[in-house]
Amino acid sequence: MNPLALSLIELGAVVFSLGLLARLAARIGMSPIPLYLLGGLAFGTGGIVELEGMKQSAHVFGEIGVILLLLMLGLEYSAAELLTGLRRSWQAGLLDLLLNFLPGGALALFLGWGFVGAVVMGGVTYISSSGIAAKVITDLGWLGNRETRVVISILVFEDLTMAVYLPVLTSILAGASFLSGLTTVGIALAVVSVVLTVALRHGHQVSKAVHSENSEVFLLGILGSALLVAGAASAMQVSTAVGAFLLGIAISGATSHRATRLLAPLRDLFAGIFFVAFGLNTDPASIPPVLGWALVLALITAASKMATGIWAAKRVGIARPGRLRAGAALIARGEFSIVIAGLAVASGAVSQELAAMATAYVLVMAVVGPLAARYVEPLVKIVLPAERVATNT
């Protein structure tokens, strides 16, 4: 069979399988991310059937998936909301960073993966999944709860932290010198500052530049802009993901809502391929040796996210049930953790053991997070008298 036919058949099979997995995930009430990763493991290196043709196109599609994920994450926030959230949550955000970055970094050092591995694993365990958290909050009817504002503020802080962390990580993975690393961080901070300033003062003009009443023109314009900005960011040694995120922040109002509606199917498609592509490059045989450590790390960081949410909610006067809901909503890890691990693996600067650890960790946390959120409230009602629960939320 010629290579083009093989690639098309494999790509079609993968996309069709993504649809089946997404349907299964919706039916059992969980995030599809673990199933996408398992699908990649099944058909990648060392899997049941190895899709050789798919590997050629998966990398490019995966990069587009990352760009769309971060673009739409940026579209969820305005610059004013980001700054307000930062002022409101910086103390909880710093606690979150300390409690959840250190376990991953410490385990990487203990396992002999060195400084680079520690920086990567720290990021993997630190960042909550905004996508899973948003779905959990919506599905469980928590949108109007007071603790939801606390959760969103912490997620905003994490996203802003990623805007600095990803360029630093890119520099470290490239083996840049200390001076070069400082330059990269300086560029990243300058770009973030400029974009936030432009978004605050001229966000309506940016939105107007990409807006069109014609859906085809609008979709092509915003997608092309995202790819251009991501490419320019990469050329300046700033992560493509950061470039897409910042573009999303600069677009506001009705334009951002329309962009979210038009881009959502594309994001789901390419993000699904991204997770599959990460699984394709991970040998399933490498997971059992690190599974025990992944479970230990999952237990520790689930507890540390709970502690973060409880402390942050308590500071603003939310009662115990709301505090527990805030902590549970933050537990899940997902898209960002895989983005970080994917950057590291693609650079060749870390071992395949780290990729296996990240895969196993995200598989566990993407399942445990929604389950914890779903059952924390019934647990509260058992532990606390019903009338106390009702009056203290």
Q: What is the residue range of 352's domain?
A: 3-392
Average pLDDT for 311-323: 90
Average pLDDT for 185-206: 72
Q: What is the CATH number of the domain that holds 101?
A: 1.20.1530.20
- What are the strands, taking DSSP E only, across 161-305? none
With 0-12 CB in 10 A as exposed, 13-18 as middle and 19+ as buried, what is 316?
A: middle
Gap between the terminal Cα atoms of the chain: 63
Residue that wins the pLDDT comparison between 226 and 48? 226
Can you give the pTM of this predicted structure? 0.76
**What's the pLDDT tens digit per position in 221-267?**
888 988 888 888 777 666 677 778 778 878 877 888 888 888 888 88
- Whole-angstrom Cα distance, residue 107 to residue 113? 9
Q: What angle do CA 374, 379, 384 make, to 5 degrees?
A: 140
**What's the pLDDT tens digit per position in 297-315?**
999 999 999 999 999 999 8
- Whole-angstrom Cα distance, residue 19 to residue 27? 12
Most confident of 52-61, 101-110, 226-235: 101-110
User: Is residue 390 very low, low, confident or very high in pLDDT (cuts 50, 70, 90)?
Assistant: very low
- Smallest CA-to-CA distance from 338 within 2, 33, 24, 59 is with 33
Which tokens in the block code for residue 20?
A: 């089946």
- Whole-angstrom Cα distance, residue 186 to residue 373? 38
Which tokens in the block code for residue 65?
A: 């998936």
Residue that wins the pLDDT comparison between 236 and 65? 65
Share of the chain above pLDDT 70, in %: 84
Share of the chain above pLDDT 90, in %: 18
- Is 70 exceeded by the pLDDT of residue 155? yes
Average pLDDT for 186-194: 72
- Is 70 exceeded by the pLDDT of residue 60? yes
User: Is residue 49 very low, low, confident or very high in pLDDT (cuts 50, 70, 90)?
Assistant: low
Q: Which of 42-51, 82-91, 259-268 has the lowest mean pLDDT?
A: 42-51
Q: Are 133 and 151 in contact (CB under 8 A)?
A: yes
Report the sign of the C-alpha dihedral through residues 53, 13, 32, 262, in that order.
Answer: positive
User: Is residue 46 very low, low, confident or very high in pLDDT (cuts 50, 70, 90)?
Assistant: low
- Is 50 exceeded by the pLDDT of residue 94? yes
Contact residues for 46 (Cβ-Cβ < 8 A; gap 6+): 283, 284, 285, 286
CA distances from 276 to 38, 175, 233 (A): 8, 28, 25
- Whole-angstrom Cα distance, residue 221 to residue 73? 18
CA distances from 172 to 113, 123, 124, 178 (A): 14, 13, 15, 9
- Is 50 exceeded by the pLDDT of residue 115? yes
Name the domain count of the chain: 1
- Smallest CA-to-CA distance from 125 within 372, 380, 354 is with 354
Q: Are 341 and 66 in contact (CB under 8 A)?
A: no
- Whole-angstrom Cα distance, residue 332 to residue 342? 18
- Whole-angstrom Cα distance, residue 120 to residue 117? 5
